[in-house]
């Protein structure tokens, strides 16, 4: 169920959100998978395959297969979709996806502890520049808190103020629910807040929440429809992205 009945529809009408140069940027909300970290290819995909192996299942997702499955958000739903597509009755596919998901999360935690999932180049520098200028940084993800928290702690320390995950907000992207929950918890103004995403589902969620969205895509999402984003780049090191944020950051506080 959506967290805030009615609010999604209200926000969905505000598709022209645009934080402009000179506007005082108040907060930036980051997606996790594919945005902060290259987690899909070397993290989640590997965790799913190990889960299948342990369960004695013949299923295996190679890079290309997994790329197509990324359109299904939520690990249990992604597995259920796959099983059903391969002939399993829907109820059984859903049950198996739900049963395997906790173990997949455990394996993902192990991979994170091993350092298999790393920040995307340039993203930490951007976050630090935002914090140095008094811009709050938050997270809105459909990932599970059990692996999101250790990942953020290992890779980003205590940089993020508010973290909303798919554990609390079960209405997954492209629903705006996770973004709306961050706005509700922080009181940040949507017209002074920017979302950073990597995928079509993520951009749609941010835009539906009334936020200006910047897209930094990766090898899996380079062909996604990212049309709703104000700026689309392939990397956080991109000068256009660095300049875009610089034009909207508050003036440096004296001594900062």
Examine the residue annotation and report whether 198 is marked as an active-site residue of this protein.
Answer: no
Q: What track of x and - describes contact with Mg ion for positions 30 through 49 (by CB under 5 A)?
A: -x-xx---------------
Nearer to Mg ion, 44 or 248 (CB): 44
- Nearest Cα to Cα of residue 247 among 229, 227, 230: 230
Examine the residue annotation and report whether 128 is marked as an active-site residue of this protein.
Answer: no
> CB 229 → Mg ion: shortest distance, Å?
13
Nearer to Mg ion, 165 or 199 (CB): 199
> CB 72 → Mg ion: shortest distance, Å?
13
Nearer to Mg ion, 93 or 178 (CB): 178
Please check whether residue 77 is in contact with residue 143, taking contact to mean a CB–CB distance below 8 angstroms: no
* Segment lying near Mg ion (by CB under 5 A), choices 23-31, 64-72, 205-213, 241-249: 23-31
Options 33, 38, 198, 224, the catalytic residue: 33
What is the b/e burial string over 137-173, where b = at least 16 CB atoms within 10 angstroms of the residue's CB? bbbbbbbbbebbbebbeebbeebbebbbbbeebebbb
Identify the residue whose tokens are 């987690």.
39
Q: How far is the CA of 188 from the CAs of 35, 136, 219, in angstroms?
A: 21, 9, 32
State which of positions 182-241 bind Mg ion (CB under 5 A).
198-199, 202
Nearer to Mg ion, 83 or 147 (CB): 147
| Greatest alpha-carbon span in the chain | 64
Verify cis geometry, omega within 30 degrees of 0, for the bond prior to 174: yes
> CB 202 → Mg ion: shortest distance, Å?
5
> CB 30 → Mg ion: shortest distance, Å?
10
Tokens describing residue 152: 């953020």
DSSP 119: B
Question: What count of other Cβ atoms lies within 10 Å of the Cβ of residue 6?
Answer: 8
Q: Which residues are catalytic?
A: 31, 33
Residues contributing to the site for Mg ion (CB under 5 A): 31, 33-34, 198-199, 202
């Amino acid at each position: 169920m959506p967290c805030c009945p009615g609010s999604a529809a209200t926000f969905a009408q505000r598709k022209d959100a645009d934080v402009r140069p000179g506007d005082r940027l108040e907060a930036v909300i980051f997606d996790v998978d594919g945005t902060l970290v290259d987690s899909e290819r070397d993290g989640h995909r590997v965790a799913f395959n190990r889960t299948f192996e342990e369960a004695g299942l013949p299923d295996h997702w190679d890079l290309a297969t997994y790329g197509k499955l990324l359109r299904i958000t939520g690990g249990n739903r992604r597995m259920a979709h796959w099983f059903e597509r391969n002939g399993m009755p829907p109820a059984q596919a859903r049950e198996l996806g739900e049963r395997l998901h906790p173990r997949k999360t455990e394996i993902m935690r192990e991979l994170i502890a091993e350092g298999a999932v790393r920040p995307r180049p340039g993203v930490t520098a951007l976050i630090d520049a935002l914090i140095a200028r008094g811009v709050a940084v938050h997270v809105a993800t459909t990932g599970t808190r059990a692996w999101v928290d250790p990942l953020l702690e290992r890779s980003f320390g205590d940089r993020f103020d508010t973290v909303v995950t798919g554990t609390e907000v079960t209405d997954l992207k492209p629903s705006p629910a996770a973004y709306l929950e961050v706005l509700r918890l922080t009181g940040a103004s949507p017209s002074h807040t920017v979302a950073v995403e990597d995928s079509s589902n993520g951009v749609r969620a941010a835009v539906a929440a009334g936020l200006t969205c910047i897209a930094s895509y990766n090898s899996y999402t380079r062909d996604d429809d990212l049309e709703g984003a104000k700026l689309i780049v392939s990397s956080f090191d991109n000068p256009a992205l660095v300049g875009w944020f610089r034009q909207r950051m508050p003036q440096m506080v004296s001594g900062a």
